[in-house]
Structure 1
Amino acid sequence: MAGINSSMGHPSQVTLKTAFTVCFAALAVVTLAVLLVKAQVALILTGIAALVAIALNHLVVLLMRARLKRNFAIGVVLAALLSTLTTVAVLVIPSAIAQGQALVEEAPTLADEVLASRFFKRIDARFHILEQLEKKGRNSTELASGALPPLLHAVSGVFSLVGALVTILFLVVFMLIFGPGLVRRAVALTLPERRERYERVLSKVYTATGGYLAGLTLICSINATLTTTFLAIIGVPFFLPLGIASGFSSMVPYAGPIVAGGTITLLTLATGGAWKGMAAFIYFILYGQLEGNVLAPLVFRRTVHINPLLTLLAVVCFVEMAGIVGALLAVPVVAAAQIIARELLLIRQERLSAQVRPP
């Protein structure tokens, strides 16, 4: 009894200040999580703008090495970018929209032709695709038309898309003008003995991200140009939107071109017959070898140094969280995380070696 009374007589180790601190920290974490969910669109736009600004800043630095002032170099780069986008919009977008509308109107008919083709029947005989769809209460016509409402909803949100593009443009301009100075001031506030390490990490992240974006732009351009040219040569009626879609599919590493190639091959089979479908199949096999063995290693191994399996897992996770934008942000984010993780491991190794070093 005496021991119990003595233990009950001691004051509690949990003070009111400690409880308040824990509650405030938990509330802050919950508030931050809610803000991140609510501000998802703003964060996505900011992330896209940051990637574009990093890519353009490499061009600005090249012009500055030619003894141009930074503000003038930024103006030249932005003017070149806007001129390129305007030229593409005038020459390509109207035809792509017209062919895209025709493709949407003929989508149910094309889907029926694909389902009636001998190639699909062989696949269905092996995997029973239609039987699984019928179990879910959806026939082939409903399957074809089910993709139309999201597409129409996307078309109706064209003004939101324009607003997002304008927002990204202003963010890119302000990041190019004020971003480097802001980063330098932030690094200058750190401890002097750690400043060099922070600068090295930021430099590696900047170089990896810029190299990745430059290589990805090159891959997408090559894919769109080659696919559009090939489809136009063999006479596919919707060659322009299909070629552009194939180019954008390269933004999703490894998996994107496979899905796009399979879809375009089926559409070619439905619109042009077996020989054109076979030609499209052979083309995407050959281009897949080119991108997988030449272009992709040039980008992912020499710039971001990420294992292909880790890249694919990151893309799958980020696509689930943020769609196509997540696929675009996956590789740079994982590359930055990998650089930071390597730096932390290096710090740990230095500390361990310092501990075992003899006096």
Structure 2
Amino acid sequence: MAGINSSMGGHPSQVTLKTAFTVCFAVFAVVALAVLLVKAQVALILTGIAALIAVALNHLVVLLMRTRLARGVAVGLVLAVLLSAVTTVALLVIPSALTQGQALVEQAPTLIDQILASRLFHRLDARFHILDHLQKQGGDTTKLASGALPPLLHAVSGVFSLVGALITILFLVVFMLIFGPGLVQRAVALTLPERRERYERVLGKVYTATGGYLAGLTLICTINATLTTTILAIIGVPYFLPLGIASGFSSMVPYAGPIVAGGAITLLTLATAGSWKALAVFIYFILYGQLEGNVLAPLVFKRTVHINPLLTLFAVVCFVEMAGIVGALLAVPVMAAAQIIARELLLIRQERLSARVRPP
């Protein structure tokens, strides 16, 4: 009986007050971090976009520094060239795009009515019951066709929010270009000497993959916008400029973006320019989809970030659900970094297993 008592209550508890406090503090830290991530979602998105832009521009800064320019001078020169190029394109394109975009918004109710009355929509509705789904989701087609636009105050606040976000990103990019490399070097210098080379190798791979992806994505978006705008103008599609720009931005969502943009532009062409021009636009997007899917995208995603297309699409779907278009932009670099880190961890494990089985 005494042995039972000693075995049940005689031994002191193995859980000390320090251990309990450590566990509670760890749980509290995880919860606080989760709440911080939720509350600071916008700030994290802006920081992520600024980091991507800074990484892409830093390649140009490094090239200029090889010509014996100081880093501050190289950063200023790169930013000046970038701002000049953006301003020039904006002055040449934005006024016409705004004019056509305003006309498109004004004609939206009529276009929606024409789409709803078209034979193609009736065939699709007879097969997929689109109107029933819209009504179940609370989408009244009469309100949709009436063209009820957001209030003016909401639109103005959205414009100011966008301007504020752009200014924030600009300042973040400038500070990251100036102070970012030194901060990363000091952080790596604080690590253990035997692990420092591995950390530098991982950071170098992530830096190269991110820069290559952004450069390739910029090229794809530019090719998409230029080709689409040119083809739509040649065919004679109204509002070709905003539609072409929107098609270019759709390439920021790999694989799925151009398909959605092509379908929407084809329907608008059907409503505004007739069935033959809509057929020509449809054929163009089929051909361009083959070009981007089989030539441009593999050139970017396989040769720069080395990610399987299935993983790319999976990452894009998940990140779009979490952060919209911005998530689609961040999906591939984040997946590339995760893949590089996972490969490095597997390499560490293989090295440890090899060291264990190595004969004396």
Change in CA separation of 1:10 and 1:303 when aligned onto 2, cut-off 3 Å = same
Asked if 1:329 is matched to 2:336, the reply is no
Q: Find the counterpart in structure 1 of residue 97 from structure 2.
A: 96
Written as runs of structure 1 = structure 2, the 5 A alignment for 1:1-359 is 1-6=1-6, 7-144=8-145, 148-149=149-150, 153-154=154-155, 156-359=157-360
Q: Matches of 1:111 and 1:144 in 2, distance apart?
A: 6
Secondary structure of 2:15 counterpart: coil
CA RMSD of aligned residues (A): 1.7
Q: CA deviation at 1:159?
A: 1.0
Cα deviation code 1:166-202 (max 9, x no counterpart): 1111111111111111111111111111111111100
Greater Cα shift, 308-317 or 17-26: 17-26
Q: Matches of 1:338 and 1:120 in 2, distance apart?
A: 43
Q: CA deviation at 1:232?
A: 1.4
Q: Matches of 2:110 and 2:172 in 1, distance apart?
A: 43
Q: Matches of 2:115 and 2:158 in 1, distance apart?
A: 30
Q: Matches of 2:325 and 2:310 in 1, distance apart?
A: 19
Q: Matches of 2:152 and 2:265 in 1, distance apart?
A: 18
Q: Matches of 2:222 and 2:182 in 1, distance apart?
A: 33
Q: CA deviation at 1:143?
A: 3.8
The answer on whether the counterparts of 1:112 and 1:140 sit within 8 Å (CA) in structure 2 is no
TM-score with structure 1 length normalisation? 0.96
Q: Matches of 1:151 and 1:125 in 2, distance apart?
A: 37
Q: Give percent identity, aligned residues only.
A: 86
Change in CA separation of 1:264 and 1:207 when aligned onto 2, cut-off 3 Å = same
Secondary structure of 2:351 counterpart: helix
Cα deviation code 1:221-251 (max 9, x no counterpart): 0101111111112222211111111000000
Q: Matches of 1:239 and 1:249 in 2, distance apart?
A: 15
Q: CA deviation at 1:126?
A: 2.1
Change in CA separation of 1:139 and 1:160 when aligned onto 2, cut-off 3 Å = closer
The answer on whether the counterparts of 1:46 and 1:171 sit within 8 Å (CA) in structure 2 is yes
Secondary structure of 2:69 counterpart: coil
TM-score with structure 2 length normalisation? 0.95
Change in CA separation of 1:115 and 1:179 when aligned onto 2, cut-off 3 Å = same
Secondary structure of 2:310 counterpart: helix
Q: CA deviation at 1:332?
A: 0.2
Q: CA deviation at 1:2?
A: 1.8
The answer on whether the counterparts of 1:201 and 1:339 sit within 8 Å (CA) in structure 2 is yes
Secondary structure of 2:252 counterpart: coil
Residue correspondences, number: 359
In structure 2, list runs of 5 or more residues that go unmatched.
none
Q: Matches of 2:148 and 2:55 in 1, distance apart?
A: 35
The answer on whether the counterparts of 1:99 and 1:238 sit within 8 Å (CA) in structure 2 is yes
The answer on whether the counterparts of 2:108 and 2:147 sit within 8 Å (CA) in structure 1 is no
In structure 1, list runs of 5 or more residues that go unmatched.
none
The answer on whether the counterparts of 2:253 and 2:329 sit within 8 Å (CA) in structure 1 is yes
Q: Matches of 2:52 and 2:136 in 1, distance apart?
A: 44
Q: CA deviation at 1:345?
A: 0.5
The answer on whether the counterparts of 1:112 and 1:141 sit within 8 Å (CA) in structure 2 is no
